[in-house]
Amino acid sequence: MKSQVVLLGGFIIAVAGCGSPQPGLAPTHSNAVDSLEATAVPGQLLVGYRSGNVTKLARRARILGHNPTLEIVLVAPNPGDNLEKLKADLASDPSVSFVEENLLFRLPRPTAAIRQFSGGSSRNKPLIGLGGNDPLLEQQWHHPKINTMQAWRVTKGQGVTVAVVDSGVDLGHPDLRSNLLNGTNTLENNNDPRDDNGHGTHVAGIVASIFSNGIGGVGVAPEVKILPIRALGDAGGSAQSVSTAIQWATDHGTAVINLSLGTTKRSKAIASAIRYALAKGVVVVAAMGNSGDQGNPKQYPASEPGVIAVGALDPQDKVTPWSDYGDWAAVAAPGYGIWSTFPTYEVSLTRFAKEHPDALPPEDKIQLNYAALSGTSQAAPIVSGIAALLRAANPQMSPQQVRDKLMKTAKDLGPVGFDPHYGAGMADAVLALQ
């Protein structure tokens, strides 16, 4: 099966990028899709090295980028040299721990995988007793499912930072602005994490939309701070941009990292970054993937050891047919028609929705300011929000303890006990805090 890299929220959009793109990445002009063909950035290799060998490496290849924390270097052949020969030479060097192509996230044809799903309505009755004056709250059916109201009696997440490694965030969104920290852009190598896609803004709002401010909805952990990191964009992203984002988040005070992204080809660079985060006490949550009805290829980083892999549920507590499954599943969470923040300015998805209203699934509503979207991209930040509540109440808990607690307290669904479709069951915020 061809490798794929995906933003796991049912879509990714190609729009004009900003800033200077990562070497080798050129903007594309596709429309809405939910998968990306995973090839590699032409002429580039990621090299893991053992300390003190960068100078030696520089004599054999051109250094395009260097992450001394992870001990990973981005290289290209010297003029006239062959990439495959360089790769073979480096792989045989005992001072090199790994050599791999710089996995490229590249957009394929438009509307490749916008799929219909008739699993029922996501509307719910008004959430009596939850409090607040957020007008979209009654449509956020995931809150009563995961017992947000009861959990907030313990904590709303104050003092915890969640990093959203994604397409960036709308920095001026009134339902997010006061909860945003200064982030970064590892895709274009600058300090501007503004979202020109929409995916990252939607994910961030699921975690931490502001509570009781008279607009929009509310996040699972509305008092956490969001660290926005733009690692993916209109031309996609790379293993370098994602691994650097994970490392940067770890070194800037985050307690939880949300990865609503994935690939069917494992990247040792990204795996190295995840190990670094876990070793530093950072909880890593990742989306399982949206290809369960298309061969169910194994997804990374969801299947990396220690990661909390999250599948998607519909309003009837059934796993969605497109949610990926496997023995690495930890828990499941609502992932169908989830209302959250969306850019206050036009991005390609809003334009696409205007031009092709019949192409979207019935529960997906795309508009300025707020949108309803479906995917494991939406399920993952719900669990990231619960993990943030758990870390706020128990800051000493290790990533493994957080994972174990979420699984132990999940509501069992599907076959009795653990199973590859539901994992341990639906994550429950209040039970996790008990």
Annotated active-site positions, please?
166, 199, 377
Residue 134 · residue 213 · CB < 8 Å: yes
Query: Could you count the other beta carbons within 10 Å of the beta carbon of residue 85?
Result: 10
Which residues share a beta bridge with 319? 313
Q: Which amino acid is residue 60, in one-letter code?
A: R
CB 323 within 8 A of CB 298: no
Q: Distance between alpha carbon 307 and the CA centroid of its chain, in Å?
A: 12
Please state, in angstroms and rounded to a whole number, the distance separating the CA atoms of residues 327 and 349: 33
Measured CA to CA, the distance from residue 22 to residue 188 in angstroms comes to: 5
User: Which residues, at least 6 apart from 408, have a Cβ–Cβ distance to it below 8 Å?
Assistant: 424
Radius of gyration (C-alpha) of the chain in whole angstroms: 20
Task: Kindly state the tokens that stand for 41.
Answer: 């950035």
Handedness of CA 88, 93, 94, 96 (dihedral sign): negative
| Per-residue buried b or exposed e for 330-353, using 16+ beta carbons within 10 Å of the residue's own CB | bbbbbbbbbbbbbbeeebbbbebb
Length of the chain: 434
